[in-house]
Structure 1
Amino acid sequence: MAFEAAVGEADITPVFPPYPSLWMGGYGWGPRGDHGAIARRLRAQCLVIWDDGAPKVLVRADLISIPRDVHQLIRETLVDEGLVAAADLMLAASHTHSGPLYGDTRPNPFVLMNLTDADIAAVNGTTSLITDALIQLVRDTLALDRVGVALSYAEGAATIGYNRVGFDTVLDTVPVLRVDTVDGDLFAVVFGAACHPVSRGDDEVFDGDFPAVASEFVEQELGVPALFLQGACGDQEALDPHSPSMTEQLGAVLGQAVVDVLEEGEFGDVTGPVSTALIEVDLPFQVDLADPDVQGVVRAKYEARRNELGPLDPNSRHATVMMQLIDNGELPTSVPAPIQRWRFGGLTILALSHEPLSAYHVKLHNAFPGNLWVVGYANECEGYIPDNATQRAGGSLHGGYEAGWNEGDDTIAGLGCSTISYAWPSPLKFSDSDTPEAGTTERIVMDACLGLLNS
């Protein structure tokens, strides 16, 4: 039996009014945006695939990330309304660095950009409007007329980035899922890549970056909706030099690769029934922050850092937040990480939350023999998920930004590291050995993923 499908779209570009905040996400460490300049409208798209009458709902959006509280609100609302089962809804952010600041938790607007309470209240107002738009988009798409479709999958290649950590791994795979009507006409395209959407650079103009250019390229060439999914690109950087012209160039390269696959690729059938699963693992920190003695040591280090640095230094702002969390008994001891699997006949989509590094793409493909599409920035994104080799290296690779620590101290967040902007107290747990030990980040993530893939 053929699937049925529908595709919807919504404009989520912040414009004042009604959006109270035009602050932008993606870069620190001072205020950015609030001007409203637009190079390209930001979009959210929804593809619903009905499998034997049950909807599988994919929502992707031109957003830097989706914080945990927003993810939970969207999922709970749609599930409570009886519109979709929990594991049958997949959210994905493109990770464009030229989009709005979304949410007030992680990244932390005070730490990231030194925003005032009034600015943060405005950010929450814009977050609420975008969230309402995403929920309504799902409702509207589910109400559209259904079209009988068949699915098929192939892969192409496009080199649009490099490994900024310094390892050899550069992901150039371009996965393509084509959605055809039962009469053989192309209905929609879902495609992906794994590369940080930073090609435009740190200016103050809204833009979906190269994924949006690629989507528009495919749509103009083929006349059907094209939906982009980001991969495991935590260490994959867009080619230099970053500029608006590079955004156009890389988007055209990626878009042409998708068109080439659609015109020349050897597609394999993707069939039902679809098996879905959604689990959550907890990623502990390098030190046991549930131990009051450890908290005391960590607090003393943050107090010393705050006293040493000026009040405008983002590392000092982060130290202030960490001390407040400790004093209020609210310091987190782990990072929750949802992992989702959609298994079709002929294709498995594995959606990882947060910012996974490319090693996970490579290791999962090496361990799983079938067609596997690894998606990152899925459902929620509140930090990096580095592999063990990157974590061990600390500040010796890319200043420790992805590892989360530097300065020879793995007990607290490293100066200028991702753990600072995401407001975590320390790096995630790792092994000081080539093989990740039980209870460490890479081992926990890989075990959970392989459990889903092999179940």
Structure 2
Amino acid sequence: MSLFRKTAATLSVAVNTLNLTPKHPPWPSLWMGGYGWNPRGGDGTYARKLRAHCLVLDDGGSPNVLLRIDVVSIPRDVHLELRRRIVVVEKLVADSDFLIACSHTHGGPMIGSTHPHPNVLMNLQPADISAVDGSTSLFVDLMVDLAKRTVQAPKVPATLHYAEGSVRIGHNRTEESDAVVPDVPVLLVRNATTTEPVAVLFGYACHPVCRGNDTIFDSDYVGVVIESIERRLGLPALFFQGPAGDINPNPGGPLVVGEKLADAVVAVLARNEFTTVTGPIRTTLTEIQLPFAADTGDSAVLAQLKRTFESRLDGHLGQAEVRHARLMLEQIRTGTLPRSIPMPIQCWKLGGLTILALSHEVLSGYQQLIKDVAARLGTGKLWVMAYANETQCYVPTDVTAWQPGYESSWQEGDRLTAGYGSSMLAYSWPSPLKSSPEGKVPADPGSTQAIVLAACEALLR
């Protein structure tokens, strides 16, 4: 769906913040997302509070709503319910003008019970899964209320100012690449009347896993950055995760990593060398289908998958593989095994800046691939976000997909089935995503990489 407006370029803005740290009651569940393969629930304490921010940017047409949330992931059914409630029921915003972004902190609540499935990921039982669903329903209500309050709040006239910094707080965890994304995009919002700062939006690409796998709720280094900037500058700071699927933080813990990123953001603001960003805002929301390596619509391939999953029921790989195999076999039996994975991609074009927001755990290699496309098209300043709208799988580049591993999701001897201990198994899918034949450059048109880049190019045009 696309909505292009020709309206006055006058901008106005409203910002709201909500404490999203789970507490029982009213949250039915304190189960946490982000790690497998055993049950993991919050103990009722937290290190840094989890937040949701809503920023409404009005260009004189209809409002544009950014909803930024400290959770590890939002599955498709929850994303679509949020979009239905906010766009269709409440009629707060047009479809392509509504963008959700997750920080991907691994110290937050589990949201949804589909991808990942709580039983496969953590061996949760029906009563626990019901509690997760109850917390998910509460979460949706809170997000709808936050969006509604912000859309209806008084707005101040605003000007936008964009600049980029650079810092290295992470490393690439795959053996196929040492690439990281050092970019620190910064968008400063000022009151157009007083010129005083109103809010700062910033981004980086790095997994928020500094805390590690424990039972304390924590927004991780993301919370450190936000709190540090707000303490230093006295204005709301909104973090947006980049293509961080294969990037982990360097040693040092949340405080060290977070303060280093905060220093980089503040340094950009102190330089005061901005590009002015103007309205109107043109928005587009599209959706592509990511193909599996296994054609699950082919009866012969389906029979092969069935034999593989049946062979895993004896538990020789591990109990997570058994739980995953049971789910896959049930989907084969009922004819509900998916053929592909949907991937929404969203584009907001402003004067002087384009924001391209990709769903799922996109690997860092896409940053340069997309920027190469943008340079060829003459797009100008480009901010690439990931973990947008819904997060249901890793999206590897060909280079990573050609090697067995967690992100590519296959193991030696079997390129068709979700490998044991892999990301596709964690997210409850049957097969790795389809790649180009090994060594083929440019990417094969039917490969995941080619499909993603073609969609990005179409939006950037």
- Normalised TM-score (structure 1): 0.96
CA offsets, 1:150-169, max 9 Å, x none?
00100011211000013121
Q: Distance in 2 between matches of 1:408 and 1:63?
A: 35
Q: Distance in 2 between matches of 1:346 and 1:34?
A: 43
- Within-5 A mapping of 1:137-176: 137-166=146-175, 167-176=177-186
1:193 aligns with 2:204: yes
Q: Distance in 1 between matches of 2:303 and 2:45?
A: 46
Q: In the alignment, which residue of structure 1 is the partner of 2:81? A: 73
User: How far 1:434 moved relative to its partner?
Assistant: 2.8
Conserved 8 A contact 1:42-1:207: yes
How many residue pairs get matched? 444
Counterpart residue type for residue 248 of structure 1: L
1:9 aligns with 2:9: no
Counterpart residue type for residue 2 of structure 1: T
- Give ranges in structure 1 of 5+ residues lacking alignment: none
Q: In the alignment, which residue of structure 1 is the partner of 2:5? A: none
Q: Distance in 2 between matches of 1:318 and 1:240?
A: 33
Q: In the alignment, which residue of structure 2 is the partner of 1:301? A: 308
Q: Distance in 2 between matches of 1:218 and 1:318?
A: 42
Counterpart residue type for residue 157 of structure 1: S
1:238 aligns with 2:253: no
- Within-5 A mapping of 1:259-408: 259-309=266-316, 313-369=319-375, 370-393=380-403, 395=404, 400-408=405-413
Conserved 8 A contact 1:155-1:265: no
Q: In the alignment, which residue of structure 2 is the partner of 1:84? A: 93
Q: In the alignment, which residue of structure 2 is the partner of 1:126? A: 135
Q: Distance in 2 between matches of 1:36 and 1:407?
A: 42
Conserved 8 A contact 1:174-1:193: yes
Q: Distance in 1 between matches of 2:109 and 2:82?
A: 18
Q: Distance in 1 between matches of 2:386 and 2:265?
A: 19
Q: In the alignment, which residue of structure 1 is the partner of 2:453? A: 446
> 3-state SS of the aligned residue for 1:39?
strand
Q: In the alignment, which residue of structure 2 is the partner of 1:418? A: 423
Q: Distance in 2 between matches of 1:372 and 1:447?
A: 17
Q: Distance in 2 between matches of 1:83 and 1:108?
A: 31
Conserved 8 A contact 2:315-2:321: no
CA offsets, 1:225-251, max 9 Å, x none?
00000000001111126xxxx101111
Conserved 8 A contact 2:204-2:241: yes
Counterpart residue type for residue 340 of structure 2: S
Could you list the runs of 4 or more consecutive aligned residues of structure 1 that deviate by over 6 angstroms after TM superposition?
A: none
User: How far 1:308 moved relative to its partner?
Assistant: 4.5
Q: Distance in 2 between matches of 1:329 and 1:225?
A: 48
User: How far 1:9 moved relative to its partner?
Assistant: 1.1
Equivalent residue in structure 2 for 1:103, among 83, 106, 112: 112
Q: In the alignment, which residue of structure 1 is the partner of 2:3? A: none
Q: Distance in 2 between matches of 1:256 and 1:408?
A: 47
Q: Distance in 2 between matches of 1:338 and 1:438?
A: 19
- Normalised TM-score (structure 2): 0.95
User: How far 1:307 moved relative to its partner?
Assistant: 2.1
Conserved 8 A contact 1:92-1:377: yes
User: How far 1:265 moved relative to its partner?
Assistant: 4.1
Q: Distance in 2 between matches of 1:108 and 1:72?
A: 17
Counterpart residue type for residue 364 of structure 1: I
Counterpart residue type for residue 69 of structure 1: D
> 3-state SS of the aligned residue for 2:201?
strand
CA offsets, 1:291-330, max 9 Å, x none?
12211110001101222527x6101111111111101111
Higher alpha-carbon deviation: 432-441 or 173-182? 432-441
Conserved 8 A contact 2:436-2:446: no
Q: Distance in 2 between matches of 1:439 and 1:171?
A: 27
> 3-state SS of the aligned residue for 1:240?
coil
Counterpart residue type for residue 227 of structure 2: E
**What is the RMSD computed on CA atoms of the aligned residues?**
1.1
Q: In the alignment, which residue of structure 1 is the partner of 2:144? A: 135
Counterpart residue type for residue 426 of structure 1: S
Q: Distance in 2 between matches of 1:43 and 1:155?
A: 24
> 3-state SS of the aligned residue for 2:45?
coil
> 3-state SS of the aligned residue for 2:56?
strand
> 3-state SS of the aligned residue for 1:279?
strand
Conserved 8 A contact 1:71-1:379: yes
Counterpart residue type for residue 435 of structure 2: F
> 3-state SS of the aligned residue for 2:46?
coil
Q: In the alignment, which residue of structure 1 is the partner of 2:238? A: 227
> 3-state SS of the aligned residue for 2:262?
helix
Counterpart residue type for residue 277 of structure 2: V
User: How far 1:2 moved relative to its partner?
Assistant: 3.1
CA offsets, 1:236-280, max 9 Å, x none?
111126xxxx10111111111111101114100101111100000
> 3-state SS of the aligned residue for 1:368?
helix
Q: Distance in 1 between matches of 2:69 and 2:445?
A: 35
> 3-state SS of the aligned residue for 2:217?
coil
Q: Distance in 2 between matches of 1:176 and 1:383?
A: 27
Conserved 8 A contact 1:156-1:265: no
> 3-state SS of the aligned residue for 1:91?
strand
Conserved 8 A contact 2:56-2:64: yes
User: How far 1:34 moved relative to its partner?
Assistant: 3.8
